[in-house]
Structure 1
Amino acid sequence: MFRFSSVRALGLVGLVGLGGTAIFVTRAQGVGTSPSLPLTTTLADFFQPGTQENTLQASLVDALNCANCHGHYNEQIEPFDNWVGSMMAQATRDPVFHAALAIANQDASFAGELCLRCHTPGGWLRGQSVPTDGSGLDVVQGDYDGVNCHFCHRMVDPVYDANSNPIEDQAILSALNPALLSEPDTGQYVVDPEDRRRGPFDLGSGFFWHDWRQSGFHQESLLCGTCHDVSNPVFTRQADGSYALNALNTAHPTHEKRDKFPVERTFSEWSQSQFAREAIDMGGLFGGNKSAVATCQDCHMPDTDGTACAPGFGGAFRDDLPLHQFNGGNTWVLRAVDSLYPDWETNLTPSIIDSSIQRAHQMLESAAELSAWIRGGEVVVRVENNTGHKLPTGYPEGRRMWINVQVFGGAGMLLQEYGHYDRTSALLTTGDTTVFESILGLDAAMAATTGLAAGMSFHFVLNNEILKDNRIPPRGFTWAAFAAVQAAPVGESFKEEQFWHDSSFALPPGARRVEVRLFYQTTSKEYIEFLRDNNTTNAAGQTAYDQWVLHGKSAPAEMASAVVLRSVPLCPLPIVYGSAGVTSGGSKLQLAAVGLPVVSAANFKLRISGGPPGARGIIMQGSEPASTPLLGGTRLVGGSTTRLVSVHLSPSGETQVSVPLFASQIGAEIYYQAWARDPGLASGVVLSNGLHGDICP
Structure 2
Amino acid sequence: MQKLLLLFILNHCMTNCWADATFSSENNTLNIPYLRYQDNFYTIDFSFLPPDKLQLSNAALQPTQLENNAIVPLYEDLSLHLSNLTYLDKQYAADLKFVGDNIFQIHNITEAPNALPGRKIFRTQHFSGSGICKQCHTDLQDEEGNDVSIVPAWEATMMANATRDPFWQAKVRSELNRTPSLQETINNTCSRCHAPMANEEARKQGDNIQTIFDQGLLNANNPYHNLAKEGVSCSLCHQISPNGNFGTEAGFSGNFAVETFPTSTERLIYGPYENVLTRPMQNFANFTPTYSKHISSSELCASCHDLSTPYTDENGNILSDGSDEFPEQMPYSEWLHSDYPQTKSCQQCHMQPANGVIIASQPDSLRTVRENFSQHGFLGSNKLMLSILQDYRKELGAPDADYSTSIANAQGLLASAAQLSISSANLQNNTLNFNLAINSTTGHKLPSGYPSRRIILHVTVRDADGNIAFESGKVNSDGSVVALDSDQDPTKFEPHYQLIDSPEKVQVYETIMHDHQGNITYTLLRAKSYLKDNRIPPNGYDKNTAPEKIQVKGLAKTDDNFIGGADLIEYKIDNLTADQYTIKAELIYQTLGYNFAQNLFTDQSTEVARFKQMFNASTLKLTTIKSITFDINKILRK
Q: TM-score normalised by the shorter chain: which range applies?
A: 0.5 to 0.7
Task: Identify which of 196, 216, 221 aligns with 1:136.
Answer: 216
Contact 1:374/1:564 (CA < 8 Å) preserved in 2?
A: no
Structure 2: how far apart are the matches of 1:427 and 1:342?
A: 32
Structure 2: gaps of 5 or more residues: 1-122, 203-207, 262-266, 283-287, 427-431, 485-503
Structure 1: how far apart are the matches of 2:566 and 2:394?
A: 43
Are the structure 2 counterparts of residues 269 and 330 from structure 1 closer, same or farther at C-alpha, using a change threshold of 3 Å?
A: same
Task: Identify which of 554, 571, 593 aligns with 1:505.
Answer: 571
2:505 pairs with 1:443: no
Task: Identify which of 295, 305, 324 aligns with 1:218.
Answer: 295
Partner AA of 2:326 in structure 1: F
Are the structure 2 counterparts of residues 344 and 491 from structure 1 closer, same or farther at C-alpha, using a change threshold of 3 Å?
A: closer
Q: Percent identity?
A: 22
> What is the aligned-residue RMSD (CA, Å)?
2.9
Are the structure 2 counterparts of residues 476 and 370 from structure 1 closer, same or farther at C-alpha, using a change threshold of 3 Å?
A: same
Corresponding residue number in structure 2 for 1:474: 538
Name the structure, 1 or 2, with higher relative contact order (CA <8 Å, separation 6+): 1
What is the Cα deviation at residue 129 of structure 1?
Answer: 4.5
Are the structure 2 counterparts of residues 494 and 303 from structure 1 closer, same or farther at C-alpha, using a change threshold of 3 Å?
A: farther
Q: Which is further off, 430-439 or 104-113?
A: 104-113
2:313 pairs with 1:260: no
2:378 pairs with 1:323: no
Structure 1: how far apart are the matches of 2:348 and 2:405?
A: 19
Corresponding residue number in structure 2 for 1:540: 607
Corresponding residue number in structure 2 for 1:125: 200
- Residue-by-residue CA offset, 1:156-182 (whole Å, 9 max, x unaligned): 12458xxxxxxxxxxxx9xxxxxx955
Structure 2: how far apart are the matches of 1:181 and 1:562?
A: 42
TM-score between both structures, scaled by the size of structure 1 = 0.61
Report how many residues are paired.
Answer: 457
2:271 pairs with 1:199: yes
Q: Which is further off, 400-409 or 491-500?
A: 491-500
Partner AA of 1:217 in structure 2: H
Contact 1:420/1:428 (CA < 8 Å) preserved in 2?
A: yes
Contact 1:385/1:472 (CA < 8 Å) preserved in 2?
A: yes
Corresponding residue number in structure 2 for 1:185: 252
Structure 2: how far apart are the matches of 1:480 and 1:533?
A: 39
- Residue-by-residue CA offset, 1:101-131 (whole Å, 9 max, x unaligned): 0111123322232111000001112327522
Structure 1: how far apart are the matches of 2:278 and 2:236?
A: 24
Structure 2: how far apart are the matches of 1:505 and 1:347?
A: 47
Match of 1:478, SS?
Answer: coil
Match of 1:318, SS?
Answer: coil
Are the structure 2 counterparts of residues 429 and 503 from structure 1 closer, same or farther at C-alpha, using a change threshold of 3 Å?
A: same
Structure 1: how far apart are the matches of 2:567 and 2:631?
A: 21
Partner AA of 2:572 in structure 1: A
Contact 1:515/1:563 (CA < 8 Å) preserved in 2?
A: yes
Corresponding residue number in structure 2 for 1:451: none
What is the Cα deviation at residue 480 of structure 1?
Answer: 3.5
Contact 1:329/1:363 (CA < 8 Å) preserved in 2?
A: yes
Corresponding residue number in structure 1 for 2:506: 433
Task: Identify which of 140, 147, 153 aligns with 1:82.
Answer: 153
Structure 2: how far apart are the matches of 1:512 and 1:414?
A: 10
Structure 1: how far apart are the matches of 2:307 and 2:200?
A: 19
Partner AA of 2:591 in structure 1: T
Contact 1:70/1:80 (CA < 8 Å) preserved in 2?
A: yes
Partner AA of 1:212 in structure 2: P
Contact 2:455/2:590 (CA < 8 Å) preserved in 1?
A: yes
Match of 1:231, SS?
Answer: strand
Corresponding residue number in structure 2 for 1:300: 350
Are the structure 2 counterparts of residues 135 and 418 from structure 1 closer, same or farther at C-alpha, using a change threshold of 3 Å?
A: farther
Corresponding residue number in structure 2 for 1:404: 458
Are the structure 2 counterparts of residues 468 and 567 from structure 1 closer, same or farther at C-alpha, using a change threshold of 3 Å?
A: same
Structure 1: how far apart are the matches of 2:212 and 2:515?
A: 24
Partner AA of 1:308 in structure 2: I
Q: Please list every run of at least 4 consecutive aligned residues from structure 1 whose deviation after the TM superposition is greater than 6 angstroms.
A: 244-247
What is the Cα deviation at residue 402 of structure 1?
Answer: 1.1
Partner AA of 1:141 in structure 2: N
Q: Which is further off, 542-551 or 374-383?
A: 374-383
Partner AA of 2:257 in structure 1: V
2:133 pairs with 1:69: no
Contact 2:479/2:621 (CA < 8 Å) preserved in 1?
A: no
Are the structure 2 counterparts of residues 216 and 518 from structure 1 closer, same or farther at C-alpha, using a change threshold of 3 Å?
A: same
Mapping for residues 636-675 of structure 1, pairs under 5 Å: none
Structure 1: gaps of 5 or more residues: 1-55, 161-172, 174-179, 236-243, 280-293, 445-453, 571-695
Are the structure 2 counterparts of residues 197 and 134 from structure 1 closer, same or farther at C-alpha, using a change threshold of 3 Å?
A: farther
Greater Rg by CA? 2
Structure 2: how far apart are the matches of 1:193 and 1:135?
A: 27
Structure 1: how far apart are the matches of 2:195 and 2:330?
A: 20
2:587 pairs with 1:518: yes
Corresponding residue number in structure 1 for 2:443: 388
Partner AA of 1:131 in structure 2: T
Corresponding residue number in structure 2 for 1:607: none
Corresponding residue number in structure 2 for 1:314: 366
Contact 1:264/1:395 (CA < 8 Å) preserved in 2?
A: yes
Are the structure 2 counterparts of residues 80 and 203 from structure 1 closer, same or farther at C-alpha, using a change threshold of 3 Å?
A: farther
Structure 2: how far apart are the matches of 1:429 and 1:116?
A: 38
Partner AA of 2:447 in structure 1: P
Mapping for residues 581-592 of structure 1, pairs under 5 Å: none
Contact 2:327/2:529 (CA < 8 Å) preserved in 1?
A: no
Contact 2:473/2:481 (CA < 8 Å) preserved in 1?
A: no
Contact 1:331/1:357 (CA < 8 Å) preserved in 2?
A: yes
Contact 2:311/2:318 (CA < 8 Å) preserved in 1?
A: no
Task: Identify which of 461, 466, 469 aligns with 2:525.
Answer: 461
Structure 1: how far apart are the matches of 2:127 and 2:161?
A: 17
Structure 1: how far apart are the matches of 2:398 and 2:279?
A: 30
Mapping for residues 587-626 of structure 1, pairs under 5 Å: none
Corresponding residue number in structure 2 for 1:227: 304
Match of 2:416, SS?
Answer: helix
Corresponding residue number in structure 2 for 1:361: 411
Contact 1:69/1:313 (CA < 8 Å) preserved in 2?
A: no
Match of 2:281, SS?
Answer: coil
Structure 2: how far apart are the matches of 1:380 and 1:129?
A: 54
Structure 2: how far apart are the matches of 1:113 and 1:402?
A: 34
Corresponding residue number in structure 2 for 1:670: none
Are the structure 2 counterparts of residues 512 and 192 from structure 1 closer, same or farther at C-alpha, using a change threshold of 3 Å?
A: same
Contact 1:370/1:562 (CA < 8 Å) preserved in 2?
A: yes
Structure 2: how far apart are the matches of 1:84 and 1:463?
A: 33
Contact 1:265/1:486 (CA < 8 Å) preserved in 2?
A: yes
Match of 2:134, SS?
Answer: helix
What is the Cα deviation at residue 566 of structure 1?
Answer: 1.6
What is the Cα deviation at residue 82 of structure 1?
Answer: 1.3
Partner AA of 1:79 in structure 2: I
Are the structure 2 counterparts of residues 372 and 340 from structure 1 closer, same or farther at C-alpha, using a change threshold of 3 Å?
A: same
Structure 1: how far apart are the matches of 2:598 and 2:273?
A: 46
What is the Cα deviation at residue 412 of structure 1?
Answer: 2.6
Task: Identify which of 531, 542, 549 aligns with 2:616.
Answer: 549
Structure 1: how far apart are the matches of 2:311 and 2:449?
A: 20
- Residue-by-residue CA offset, 1:30-70 (whole Å, 9 max, x unaligned): xxxxxxxxxxxxxxxxxxxxxxxxxx993211111111111
Contact 1:234/1:246 (CA < 8 Å) preserved in 2?
A: no
Contact 2:170/2:608 (CA < 8 Å) preserved in 1?
A: yes
Corresponding residue number in structure 2 for 1:529: 598
Task: Identify which of 389, 399, 403 aligns with 1:337.
Answer: 389
Match of 2:290, SS?
Answer: strand
Contact 1:60/1:122 (CA < 8 Å) preserved in 2?
A: yes
- Residue-by-residue CA offset, 1:245-281 (whole Å, 9 max, x unaligned): 999589x75x55xx322111111101111112x11xx
Contact 2:192/2:199 (CA < 8 Å) preserved in 1?
A: yes
Match of 1:513, SS?
Answer: strand
